[in-house]
Chain A
Amino acid sequence: MAKNKTIKVDYLARVEGEGALYVRYDDAGVHEVKLKIFEPPRFFEGFMRGRDFREAPDITARICGICPIAYQMSSVHAMEDALHLKLPPELHALRRLIYCGEWIESHTLHIYMLHAPDFLGYPSAVAMAKDHPAIVQDGLRIKKAGNAIVSLLGGREVHPINVRVGGFYRAPRAVELKPLREELLHARDMAMNTVRWAASLLFPKFEREQSQQYEFVSLSHEDEYPMSRGQIASTRGLSIPASAYDNHFREEHIEYSSALHSTLIERGAYFVGPMARYNINYALLSPLVRQLADEVGFPPFCANPFQSIVVRSLEVLYAFDEAIRIIDGYRKPDAAHVTAEPRAGTGYGATEAPRGLLYHRYQIDDSGKIVDAKIVAPTSQNQKTIEDDLRLMLPKFMHLPEKQLQAQCEQAIRNYDPCISCSTHFLRLKLEQAPRTGV
């Protein structure tokens, strides 16, 4: 009677990178859930050893083509921590501005092109555009505005070239930001409509029982919705500086994944990303964002991961609001960067990538060579939570036909906007097998 069934997705679509899903269940319950990550490792932490500290932002950007700014930001903050460098507020604001661009670009890609097709029942945004051209065109337009920020400040959308340890190579003149501001004003209106549209979608009902509640983890800063400053905080009372990360979090190696699973020591799985930021820092969102949340009836605390698409849309609106605020207050800094002279030390950096907390740690020697590097990406931190979600939600969806059940599982994975290319490249592995082939 309790016949074993499996859900197998050999290659997950509409996520960045290569992953698969395996679920074994029967009428009695779910027996096995594996989010398999088969993306080949690239050994960044290995080959960064011996490289110059100034190269860290350019090299680590290449970990992820979707969120290169996040890698640049965490790496420069870690290096500046090691070098005891302090940046003036104008440079901090410029960094926040480029980060806004990446949040918009990355979130909008996910909202419209990767996640929306699940809600509306299409295989892709291109297919969706045939029936809903206006929705897809709006998404592309909003995404373009985010990319315009990254391009202007960074030189190009993917792997920008202007970020350096100590600041930027060149700071824009105020007049260069003027046309951008016009574009952002228009796109912000569209982003308000995105919130209204996202909130009107039909969400699968899923909230965890009291005993299985998520522990949300994000940066928290008293003055600002967190991007690159503040303590690492959680909904269960964690509050630590980035330098204490290794004392509280542990990475485990799971046999079926080329990404490490990260857990809170003695607490287990946790949840990073837009929902964590939103739930911990709601009060620091701009009045416009809170007003929109209120208008669409979206609560200040969201516990259904299927609604993460609404949270992303609110963060996109926030990023536009914040970018416009920064541009309005912009004065070209006297120097585009503060000078970074090498000195031996260890530095820690934690910033909020679009997908959540991104931790970097570097040890450098007195000539500025990297001695040791550690990077923990958001998706490896969410992996265990994604698996737990599938395990807990499947019993509620067992009545669905198999194909629909599988689609529901895939959608549940996309709730986290997993970036598999990111999560994989941090294996602290310095070994490889001798070549088997004549390559």
Chain B
Amino acid sequence: MVQPARTLDSMNGKARLAVWKFTSCDGCQLSLLDCEDELLQLAGCVDIAYFMEAASDPAPGPYDLSLVEGSVTTPDELKRIREIRAQSQILVSIGACATAGGIQALRNFADVDDFIAAVYAHPEYIDTLKTSTPISAHVPVDFELNGCPINKRQLLEVISAFLHRRPPQVPAHSVCIECKMRGNVCVWVAHGTPCMGPVTHAGCGAICPAYSRGCYGCFGPKENPNTTSLCDWWQQELGAEKTVVIENLRNFNAADPVFEAASRRREDGGGQE
């Protein structure tokens, strides 16, 4: 049975790290293996107790820090996330699937009538849930790291912060701030390119504007975003079609409550949300 989680204070020796996969593309856990310069050092600081993509010797819990990638889309995953929570002192959701349901949450917007009309050609999939939901919809989460994919520097910061029992330094401001810090020319002001930067959570380093394209919101909403104003500007000043506005709110963080509400309002109400 599940043992009571240990506190970080009672850690005996190295902290035990676990990496879990739910419904996802593996890209966020790969970010850990993409820390080529830091991986072996990290492995020296923590005991990587469970990481199926990288190791075939999984150790049983409890775990000090669990990183959870992916969204919940099956009854089995519903059960599994509760077991993992019970065995984890700290649980951090990593990436847009885990924090907002991911691209697969587009199913949440599909017409239920389509499903009813469809034929059950594959009865073994009836265990697939109708929705894709974030980890926080099912268990308490200690921290959410945004991004599709997450930024590996931020991942290292989060791991380091929890090991040292301090809050992670992950700014919740917009991509616009990162653009200024990077010295990018504003693609919106200079070229009239529709950009999600003003409402999107920082973390990527403003890469899209740096490559002459508008941000498409893969880090989800920033703190207190004004999506109504952004969408109006897109449509009225930049001539973007409503479907394009909705598609940009409804991609990798489609089921994030802020983006979901904005896209539904836009769908229902035309110009004004």
Chain A residues within CB distance 8 Å of chain B: 11-18, 39-44, 46-47, 51-52, 55, 58-59, 62-66, 68, 109, 113-114, 117, 123-127, 129, 133, 136-137, 140-141, 143-144, 147, 155-159, 161-162, 164, 168-170, 253, 255, 258, 336, 410, 421, 427, 429-437, 439
Pairwise interchain contact B213-A430, C-beta atoms closer than 8 A: no
| Chain B 45-60: CB-based contact to A (< 8 A → 1; otherwise 0) | 0001001111111100
Partner of A170, one of B31, B33, B211: B211
B52, A158: Cβ atoms under 8 Å?
A: no
- A124-B54, A421-B24, A435-B131 known; A65-B30 Cβ under 8 A: yes
- Of all chain B residues, which has the CB nearest A52? B247
A258 to B213, CA, bound (A): 36
Q: 11 A–B contact pairs at CB < 8 A?
A: A13-B57, A41-B125, A51-B247, A124-B56, A133-B40, A158-B31, A170-B213, A421-B25, A427-B125, A437-B78, A439-B72
Instruction: Mark the stretch among B104-112, B157-165, B167-175, B259-267 that contacts chain A.
Output: B104-112
Hey, which chain B residues are within 8 Å of A42, CB to CB? 23, 73, 102-104, 132
A164 to B114, CA, bound (A): 31
Asked if A437 and B129 make an inter-chain contact with CB atoms under 8 angstroms apart, the answer reads yes
- Which residues of A sit under 8 angstroms from B247, Cβ to Cβ? 51-52, 55
A403 to chain B, nearest CB (A): 12
Indicate if the CB atoms of B148 and A109 lie closer than 8 Å.
no
Q: Per-position contact with A for B9-51: 1 when CB-CB < 8 Å, else 0? A: 0000000000001011111111101101101100100001001
B128 x A158 contact (CB < 8 A): no
Known contacts A59-B251, A427-B125; 20 further A-B pairs (Cβ under 8 A): A13-B55, A14-B55, A40-B128, A42-B102, A46-B107, A55-B247, A58-B216, A123-B56, A126-B43, A126-B48, A155-B208, A159-B149, A255-B124, A410-B56, A421-B26, A434-B112, A435-B130, A437-B75, A439-B133, A439-B137
Q: How far is the CA of A136 from the CA of B21 in the complex (A)?
A: 24
CB–CB A117/B104 < 8 A: no
Q: Does B55 lie within 8 Å of A124, measured CB to CB?
A: yes
B23 and A156 contact, CB distance less than 8 A: no
**A47 neighbours in B (Cβ, 8 Å):** 103-104, 106-107, 110
A133 to B44, CA, bound (A): 12
Roughly how many angstroms separate A35 CA and B51 CA in the complex, as a whole number?
A: 21
B149 touches A65 (CB 8 A): yes
Q: A64-B25, A429-B125 are in contact. Are A158 and B30 (CB under 8 A)?
A: yes
Report B132-146 CB contacts with A as 1/0, cut-off 8 Å: 110001100000000
A158 touches B149 (CB 8 A): yes
**What's the Cα separation between A381 and B151 when bound, in Å?**
32
By a CB distance below 8 angstroms, the chain B residues around A13 are 52-58
In the bound complex, what is the Cα–Cα distance between A147 and B37 (angstroms)?
Answer: 12
Q: How far is the CA of A157 from the CA of B32 in the complex (A)?
A: 12
Which of B52, B74, B148 is the one whose CB lies under 8 Å from A159?
B148
Kindly name the residue among B34, B104, B211 whose own CB sees the greatest number of chain A CB atoms within 10 A: B211
Residue in chain B with minimal CB distance to A433? B126
User: Nearest chain-A residue to B96 (Cβ)?
Assistant: A62
The CA-CA distance from A134 to B34 in the complex, in Å, is 18
Q: Which residues of A contact B74 (CB under 8 A)?
A: 40
Q: Is residue B122 contacting chain A, with contact meaning CB distance below 8 A?
A: yes
